[in-house]
Amino acid sequence: MDEEDVDGQVIHLFAQDFNLGFQEVADELHLWKHRGIHADQDHMIEYLNANTGDGGVDLLVFGTCEFDLRVWQEALEDAWNRRDEEHKFKIVCGVHHVQDTTWQSHITYWARRDAIRLLPIADHVAEGFREKFAGLADSPEPILYSAGYQYIPVDVHVPILDVRNLPSRPLPRHLSKVAIQGSINPVRRDYHRIFRELIASLHEDPEAWGYHPLEGRRSFVPNNSGVAPPFELLLVGMGSVDIPDELAYVVSIHHDLTYKEFYALVANCDVVLPAFADNGYFEAQASSTVALATELNVPLLVTDRHRKKYGYIDDVRAVITRPAAMPEVQALKALRTGNASAFLASDPADIGKAMGELPAVRDDVEKMMQEGWVRGRREWMEWREGVWEKNREVARKILTDTP
């Protein structure tokens, strides 16, 4: 928001101290300009009840209502009831998962008082809540249809920071470093499929990936005398997964990083691979990986479905779009070598019909190759400015209590 938009307003923060060096990032980016008090979250209700008149808190923003309302609902109801009609407060709920229902019964209380709005970080989650609220508004149960669910505002606010001092990577360069970011858990990311496909491709054409043939060894060994640097796959996040012996020199795990170390590691990659393990991140839950990659100027390798579900990345400046029929490893190989002929000649279903014989697939592969995988700083900045302007508009609506 611009200074004039928040003139006279103060933001109080009730949270533990930031860890992993995020306080330094917050200070550098001036994320908390209009500082009020900073106290532990256990002091929030005490402060709320001690300032109930003019100049008191009139808006509470929770980062994760799936957790926060389960903890604070009873105390918040009490705080609401302590205030007269002229000094009630409203709450803004950051939400991340439509199907996490453990807290959603509390929404009725605030909807009935016209005192809640939702703030998901992706379009498909917003649409999921809107559809859910439309169904509740049509419920035959008086306790639900009388609550006014259809009037709950649901806006998307994308958490993309203006991260400073991002690395300037030289051009031209080869695609050589790819990250899969997120909790390192096969339930969340399809590591095993990626590993299988990468091993198969390395056996088929190790030179394309910058490795020597296996030739009796347990692991593919980097060929450091090749035209392009050996390909690397970085797994970035907490957790662990077993890495096949063949990929010992290809795959590495990175965790316990400060925010600045984390940003630098991912920002030095060429592509971020979402590698979602199931449909959950397309249907009910938002992945912060999508925002993280794009705030660091690293394009995501996605399908049209991914672009449409997340909305704000439906732009060639932010993503590389592969046809859904082209697995990620095949797309990475084609982009790395500048040649998609191996995929177009392949017959993965073994039905005597090459993938390139499908005109739509061939067209989309050619389009992907033409658009390439490198995005310039100017493209990134123009794209982010568009996202930030939409964020500012959502902030204005929240601060002016506009539906």
Query: Residue range 190-197: average pLDDT?
Result: 97
- What's the average model confidence in pLDDT over 77-97? 95
Tokens of 165: 């001092």
For the cut 60, the answer to whether the pLDDT of residue 188 exceeds it is yes
Alpha-carbon gap, residue 305 to 309, rounded angstroms: 6
**Angle made by CA atoms 195, 361, 227, in degrees to the nearest 5:** 50
What domains sit in the chain, N to C, each tagged with a CATH number? 40-157 (no CATH), 177-376 (3.40.50)
Mean pLDDT of 38-42: 89
Residue 19, both tokens: 């860890």
pLDDT score at 361? 98
Token reading at 315: 């732009």
Write out the DSSP string of 226-295.
SSSPPPEEEEESSB--PPPGGGTTTEEEE-S--HHHHHHHHHT-SEE---BSSTHHHHTB--HHHHHHHH
Asked if residue 7 has pLDDT above 60, the reply is no
Is the pLDDT at 2 greater than 60, yes or no? no
What is the structure's pLDDT at 6? Answer: 52
**In 3D, which of 154, 83, 146 has the Cα closest to residue 109?**
146
Q: Give the per-residue pLDDT at 16.
A: 86
| Position 8 confidence tier, pLDDT thresholds 50, 70, 90 | low
Task: Read off the pLDDT band of 76 (50, 70, 90).
Answer: very high
pLDDT value at residue 396: 95
Mean pLDDT of 63-70: 96
More confidently predicted of 95 and 6: 95
pLDDT in tens, 318-360: 999 999 999 999 999 999 999 999 999 999 999 999 999 999 9
Contact indicator for 214, 308 with CB cutoff of 8 Å: no
Find the mean pLDDT for residues 158-173: 89
Other Cβ atoms less than 10 A from the Cβ of 145: the count is: 14
Average pLDDT over residues 72-95: 96
Query: How many of the other CB atoms lie within 10 Å of CB of 37?
Result: 11
Confidence class for position 168, pLDDT limits 50, 70, 90: confident
Res. 55: pLDDT tops 80: no
Is the CB of residue 286 less than 8 Å from the CB of residue 316? Answer: no
Average pLDDT over residues 64-80: 96
Question: Measured between alpha carbons, how far is 285 from 280 in angstroms, rounded to an integer?
Answer: 6
What gap in Å lies between CA 313 and CA 311, rounded to an integer? 5
Q: Determine phi and psi for 153, rounding to 5 degrees.
A: -70, 135
As a whole number, mean pLDDT of residues 80-102 equals: 95
pLDDT at residue 36, as a whole number: 83
Q: Identify whether the C-beta of residue 341 lies closer than 8 Å to the C-beta of residue 389.
A: no
pLDDT (tens digit per residue) in 197-241: 999 999 999 999 999 999 999 999 999 998 899 999 999 999 999
Tokens of 402: 């506009």
Cα distance between residue 208 and residue 176, in whole Å: 11
**Which pLDDT score is estimated for 214?**
96
**What is the average pLDDT value for the chain, to the nearest integer?**
94
pLDDT at residue number 17: 86
Q: Is the pLDDT of residue 5 over 50?
A: no
Q: Is the pLDDT of residue 380 over 80?
A: yes
3-class secondary structure, 8: coil
Least confident interval from 6-10, 32-36, 373-377: 6-10
Pick from 48-57, 89-98, 148-157: least confident: 48-57
pTM of the model: 0.93
DSSP state of 11: E
Q: Which two tokens stand for residue 189?
A: 């990311």
Please report, rounded to a whole number, the percentage of residues in the chain having pLDDT higher than 90: 86
